[in-house]
Every structure is written in structure tokens, then in C-alpha cells.
Amino acid sequence: MADIIKEIHDAVVAYRKDAIVEKVEKAINEGIEARRILHDGFIAAMDVVGEKYSQGDMFIPEMLAAAQSMKLGLEKIKPLLQGEVAAEDSKGVVVIGTVKDDIHDIGKNLVAMMLEGAGFEVHDIGIDNPPENFVAKVKEVNARVLGMSALLTTTMPNMKEAIDVLKDEGLYDKVHVIVGGAPVSQQYADEIGAGGYAADAVAAVEAVKNLLKN
Amino acid sequence: MRNIFSKRLSVEVFLDNLLCSQGFKERAQVRPEITEQAARALDLALQFVEPAFVLDRFPVGPAGENKVKVGKIELNMGDNACLLEKAEEAVIYVTTIGGKLEKAVNELSRRGNWELGYWLDCAGVLALNAVDREVWTLVESMAEQEGYGVGMSLSPGSLKGWPVEEQRGLCSLLDTNRVGVSVNASYLLVPYKSASNLIGMGPGYNSARVLPACDYCVSEGNCWMKHAQGGA
């Protein structure tokens, strides 16, 4: 790994928002490809962040700070990536949001951030979404994955409603649905016809990767 | 007594509590940029918080298996009904910090500032908890004046076996509109940073202090509110 790539990697893990842009600019000026900065710098760093969080060595605010650092760097390479990225680099398009009546978006934000860090194109439609919002965005961006989050037993049924609308629109077989949130379980995911379930943000990335392998 | 309500509560949320709630036990060990975000969120929170509560007291009695009659309504509290066996009265209250903080959190999230949004959201939860604790003090002084003890603070949806659907019945006993709170179609209080609670009172209770119902909570003690108070 080039020194500057390692510096970028370490700056993300250590959430050095003050230093990341400068390091990314330096890497670009050294002629390093944006896709390499993305893969060996950002994505590798967010893998480490996820691991540290899973092991209790990092807390949620630190994980968010690392993600914000990555985002700052990502903004710098985005214009370059558009010309550089090959089809195989794009891991897939994901639409994500919380369901109707659910405004608890911390878990959803973490998942969005980890997916972005893992190289997915994430479209976050925010909170309190009726089924039609999910479906419209899936159509608009041609998503391969739909992620829905609910933190409450009373809002969980709204996940099934969204899946029903996907079926009505003929999209159910074309989109992988993954669900999560405190009261949600694998059993519930199976019951409502969601192909994937994840208990936390790190598991969500693995689950989405697995879904897309199928 | 009919529906005491107040919008003159103070809210004290301390930086150490906020940091502690997220696992940072000692401020000296926290990186300055983390502390800075938490402190910024705290400043914002204190601008947006509009604390208020509405409270009333009702006679309590058994109403069949797992049910308790409170005033004119029956609450299906599951196994928790036994927690009110000693109660002669129940204090029902709803607390809120209003909706401005939530809007600010959503706006920060929308703009991609998840970090500050997260801290602000956490500060809001602690602020609501601080409002709850002020109401507990009021309930304790009410009980003391009458030679009563008090039970734990019980809340539908938070307590194992007392579903959130019971929120509507509980809140129907109060004029929650006076503090701008309503129950939505999913039985959630709106604004979301609001809480409903029931506390039993009577001569049979030994405790003079209202305590959280951690042993009966769906979080099973694994919540960051406990961390915020310096717990494990």
C-alpha cells in the first residue's frame, strides 16, 4: 500500500476530518487512481471501523465521525470516479429509509454509511416513508436492494405494506429486500417476505453482499 | 385534582452524562473533536427543548387477570398488573420536550450531518429523562404529604408485557393537547420526544423514591440511559 493510501486509511479510522481532504488531494496529485483511494483507503478503513465497533473498541459517535471523514474525502474523488470506475467497481444501488410513522433513523444512517463505505451507491430517502416512497425511489434509481428500518413493533407492519406494494408493481422479484431495527428478527423478515435481515450496521453490509451474490 | 400541567420545567443535561450515555466514561479520555460535537449538540438542545408535562391522579383497583382499573378505564398490563397491587391511587403523566429538537435532528440528518444529529438526538432523550425526573420529584412530594409511598415509573411499550397499544387508553385520561402531545395511528406519542407514565401510590409502598422499572424494561437494563447515570 502506498504511504499516502495508508495515511488516508488511517485518517478515516482515526476520524481525522481536519486532515482527510489534504491527504486525498495529495494522493490525487501523486497520480493515484481514485478507485484505488476508494478501495484501499476508504472501503478498507470502514471495514476496520466496522470491526472495531463490533468488538466494542469504538462507540457509535466515533463510527459516525469516521464516516463523516470518509464522506469529506469521497466528495473529492467523486468527479474522478465517474470517469474511472468500471462496472465491476459498482457493488450495486441501494435505496434505504425508515418506514411510515418511524422517525428513528440512527440505525438506518449507520447502515447507509457502512454500505457507502463498502462501495455501494446508497440513496437514503430519510424517515417516515409510506410504501409508495420506497417503490418510487427503487424505480427511479433502478435499485437492486431496498433496505427498510423500523424501531417499533407498531411500525414493523409497514415493512410488509411496502413489500406488498413492490409485489403489486411487479418489482418484488427484481429487488432484494433487507429489513432491520430493534424489534425485527430473521423470523419476522421471513414472515413478511424480506430476503435479508441484519441485526446491526456491520451485519447489514454482509447481508447485502450475500443477497447480491444470489 | 384535574390535569396539572406546566411548561415551566427546567432541563439540565450535562456534558459528562451525554458522553457517558455513549460509552465514554471519562471526559479526559475522549478525543477533543468528539467532546466538541457533544458540547455543540448540548448547546443546540437547550435552545430547542420546550419541556412540559400534564399529570393527574386516579383511583386504582383490580379488574380481572392482568388488568387494572385506573379511573374509568381498564389497562391490560400483563404480569405487570401485580406492580400496582399496593396502589390506592395512580399518578398518570405525560412529559414532552416539544417538537423543535426533533425537527433540528431531522434537518441535520437530511443534510448529512449524522454526527451532530446523533448527538442532538441523544441530548434530547436525556432532556426528556430530566423532565421525567422533575415530575418524579413532584410525585414524591405529593405522596409524602399524604403519608404514601410510591412505586416504579411504568410506561406502556417500555415494559415487558405492557404493549405500546395501551398508550391510547392511558393518555385518554389526560388532556395531552394542553402540552401539544397526541397519540398517532401507530400508538406513538407525537412529538416523539414525549413519554407517558404511570406511578402507583399508597400506604403499602415502602419506597419514598420513584425508581425506573429497569428490571421489567424491554431493554433488559442494556440501555444507554443507564450508562448516562453512570451505571454499568
**A4-59 per-position pLDDT tens digit:** 999 999 999 999 999 999 999 999 999 999 889 988 999 899 889 988 988 889 99
A126 touches chain B (CB under 8 A): yes
B165 touches chain A (CB under 8 A): yes
A60 touches chain B (CB under 8 A): yes
Please compute the mean of the pLDDT values over residues A146-152 and round it to a whole number.
89
A67 touches chain B (CB under 8 A): yes
Residue with cell 393518555: B171
Mutation target among B27, B186, B188, B189 for the A interface, most CBs of A within 10 A: B186
A15 touches chain B (CB under 8 A): yes
Tell the burial category of A31 from Cβ atoms under 10 Å away from its Cβ (0-12, 13-18, 19+).
exposed
Among candidates A59, A102, A154 on the partner chain, residue whose Cβ is nearest the Cβ of B24: A59
Strands (E), chain B: 4-6, 52-62, 67-70, 73-76, 89-96, 149-154, 182-183, 189-190, 194-202
The least confident of A82-91, A92-101, B103-112 is: A82-91
Q: Hey, are the CB atoms on A154 and B164 less than 8 Å from each other?
A: yes
**B66-83 per-position pLDDT tens digit:** 899 999 999 999 888 888
Neighbour-count burial for A120-136, b at 16+ CB within 10 Å, e otherwise: bebbbbbbbbebebbbb
Q: Hey, are the CB atoms on A152 and B37 less than 8 Å from each other?
A: no
Please compute the mean of the pLDDT values over residues A69-89 and round it to a whole number.
75
Please compute the mean of the pLDDT values over residues B157-176 and round it to a whole number.
91
Among candidates A65, A106, A126 on the partner chain, residue whose Cβ is nearest the Cβ of B34: A65
User: Largest Cα–Cα distance of chain A, in whole Å?
Assistant: 54
Q: Hey, are the CB atoms on A103 and B106 less than 8 Å from each other?
A: yes
What ipTM was estimated for this complex? Answer: 0.82
Give the distance from residue B132's alpha carbon to the nearest chain A alpha carbon, in angstroms: 21
**B14-60 per-position pLDDT tens digit:** 899 999 989 898 888 899 999 999 999 999 999 999 999 999 999 99
Transcribe B196-219 into DSSP letters.
EEEEEEETT---SS--B-GGGBTT
Q: Which of the listed ranges A109-123, A140-154, B202-216 does the model predict with the highest average pLDDT? A: A140-154
CB A108 within 8 A of CB A155: no
Q: Which B residues, 33 through 72, put their C-beta within 8 Å of a C-beta on chain A?
A: 33-34, 37-38
A64 touches chain B (CB under 8 A): yes
CB A143 within 8 A of CB A123: yes
In chain A, residues with a C-beta closer than 8 Å to the C-beta of B22 are 59-61
Tell which wins on pLDDT, B185 or B94. B94
